[in-house]
Structure 1
């Protein structure tokens, strides 16, 4: 993390420009006071819920965290738990497996491609303004401990769990692909 501390932050707190965004004032205040905020998106129709952090890059030069496909409250809890680990000194990186995040299951972190940022993470994009925004997806397994990229993974996992390390055009058909096409 120490080399990242020298990396510039282009967020609205570090580089204010023009009039403040009234919708972002509460978020900016929360990030200043607590180091991050977790944004949750409620399940709708066939699209599962998701949550993501805003402020980890600003406060700790750590990638933001995204959790998708579980109930929104669960996604928010996982994102908040990982953010607290970052605050306490944990370093998050793509490919890292962690056993202390989701009870009874390991999770793996994967890098989120930039094309997905405006589709799914609008508050983070508005806060930072300047891509690229480093973000890691928390990947969780099916009940048999298979991850979505493994051939043995259940069909239900494929419909719930997006693969944000793939370009939207290469993503398997799912509700997540439909969201990308709407943008």
Structure 2
């Protein structure tokens, strides 16, 4: 994909649709292994890169400790839902992984995509479905163990299902993480580099879906934009919105 960074959302969405991987490409589904109760199966993905920063190829996520499964708790059946849900135009699925994604969005409130770390880019997890189901911004979280990242996003999903909303600038210290997090708006120009499948999913919307990055601080509680922040952590957590 060439020259779409910073392009209008309609152009980015069109490029995302055209760059989707075919069903013939390797896609494996990882299922839960009893780490948490009552969880769904989720597709895992490994970042596909080249000089054009193509969208991500989904495959099995591996680590030195073995395969990692991203887990989503079932949503509250009494959850408040977005009025957008009834009129949403679902994209055409391209094989079983997309069907799993759709099922997770419908039955569990969101689908979680895990992106493996590369030599010069950290691992991250992002949601698909929060905006559709609860009119809440999608979430992206860098640099944590995938299970921890999923637990944090699932916790926000549960609160969104109950009607709570987080917006840019909010700081939260009661999520299942030993540190507080700050919600930071993700600029549209960063979407194509990190949120390819979400762009494809929401391609028919008349306007861009919102997304918030959940930014965590260093051990002293300082965020990346604060004086004295531990600069060594920047390799694990890029802040997608410019700090200056």
Compute the TM-score of the two structures, normalised by the length of structure 1.
Answer: 0.78
Which residue in the other structure is 1:148 paired with?
224
Q: How far 1:102 moved relative to its partner?
A: 4.7
Name the count of aligned residue pairs: 161
Question: Are positions 1:132 and 2:218 aligned together?
Answer: no
Is contact 1:96-1:108 (8 Å) kept?
yes
- Summarize deviations over 1:99-148 as a string: whole Å, max 9, x none: 11253322110100111111111221111114512001101000111100
Choose from 171, 176, 179 the match for 1:105: 179
Question: Are positions 1:92 and 2:158 aligned together?
Answer: no
The change in CA–CA distance for 1:151 and 1:124 in structure 2 (over 3 A counts) is: same
Unaligned runs of 5+ in 1: 173-183
Q: Which has the larger radius of gyration?
A: 2
- Summarize deviations over 1:146-171 as a string: whole Å, max 9, x none: 100112101112222211122xxxx8
Which residue in the other structure is 1:42 paired with?
116
Q: What's the RMSD between the two structures over aligned residues?
A: 2.4
Which residue in the other structure is 2:94 paired with?
21
SS of residue in 1 equivalent to 2:232: helix
Structure with the larger helix share: 1
Is contact 2:82-2:132 (8 Å) kept?
no
Compute the TM-score of the two structures, normalised by the length of structure 2.
Answer: 0.59
Whole-angstrom CA distance in 2 between matches of 1:34 and 1:102: 19
Whole-angstrom CA distance in 2 between matches of 1:31 and 1:70: 23
Whole-angstrom CA distance in 2 between matches of 1:145 and 1:67: 17
Q: How far 1:5 moved relative to its partner?
A: 4.6
After TM superposition, the structure 1 = structure 2 runs for residues 52-131 of structure 1, keeping only pairs within 5 Å, are: 52-129=126-203, 130=205, 131=207
Q: How far 1:16 moved relative to its partner?
A: 3.9
Whole-angstrom CA distance in 2 between matches of 1:39 and 1:81: 16
